[in-house]
Amino acid sequence: MRLKLALAALMLPLTMPASAALAPGANAPNFTAKGAIAGRDFTVNLAKQLKKGPVVLYFFPAAFTPGCSAEAAAFAAAVDDFKKAGAVVIGMSADPVDKLRDFSAKDCAGKFAVASASPEVIRGYDVALGRQIGGRDATNRTSYVIAPNGKIIYAHSDLSPADHVRNTLAAVRNWRAAQKR
């Protein structure tokens, strides 16, 4: 019995999602990045987007990989719910803009912007995956919800795309409800 408990305790860190580097309450680093929306070039500036309301900023490893395509499709399907809650969705990876242009039209269904994360943005949000995909340093899968004041209000890191949309939408809704009190 003790051996089973010891083995379970050793395995627990391997089954739990990794924690995000920026904890709730931290300041989100501002950035301006080139990207695309609906297949057209677009420049994303965090401060400008925060003027519209909270921002869901999600990092993904690489466009057109199975998990990233599924996650983009899930965010695209839920984008109207995010808009109703007053939030803007922005996806980011280390992919070049030409690849993201195609990804934004196809897997994101033209519903939200995706941008190319520079090494400075990757460091600032501490989302380096620690390995390369397609010859580029990749980002891990981390989703942040950032309040209009620039503070992180929710963070979730997990290479599985399964909970990112549901969790960030709940965080936006909870934040919005708290603002009404």
pLDDT in tens, 71-96: 999 999 999 999 999 999 999 999 99
Instruction: Name which residue leads in pLDDT, 14 or 113.
Output: 113
Specify the CATH number for the domain of residue 80.
3.40.30.10
Q: What residues make up the domain containing 149?
A: 19-180
Instruction: Report the chain's mean pLDDT, rounded to a whole number.
Output: 89
The CA distances from residue 173 to 25, 80, 112, 162, in Å, are 17, 13, 19, 19
Residue 7 lies in a domain: no
Residue 1 lies in a domain: no
Tokens 């269904």 correspond to: 109
pTM: 0.87
Is residue 54 within 8 Å of residue 148, measured between CB atoms? yes
Query: Of 20, 36, 55, 68, which is the active-site residue?
Result: 68
Residue 153 lies in a domain: yes
Distance CA(33)–CA(115), nearest Å, equals 6
pLDDT value of residue 102:
97
Work out whether strand 32-37 and strand 88-93 pair parallel, antiparallel, or are unpaired: unpaired
Residue 5 lies in a domain: no
Residue 36 lies in a domain: yes
Residue 21, token pair as written in the block:
């580097």
Residue 6 lies in a domain: no
108 is catalytic: no
Residue 75, token pair as written in the block:
């965010």
pLDDT value of residue 5:
32
Instruction: Name which residue leads in pLDDT, 116 or 8.
Output: 116
Residue 43 lies in a domain: yes
Residue 180, token pair as written in the block:
């009404």
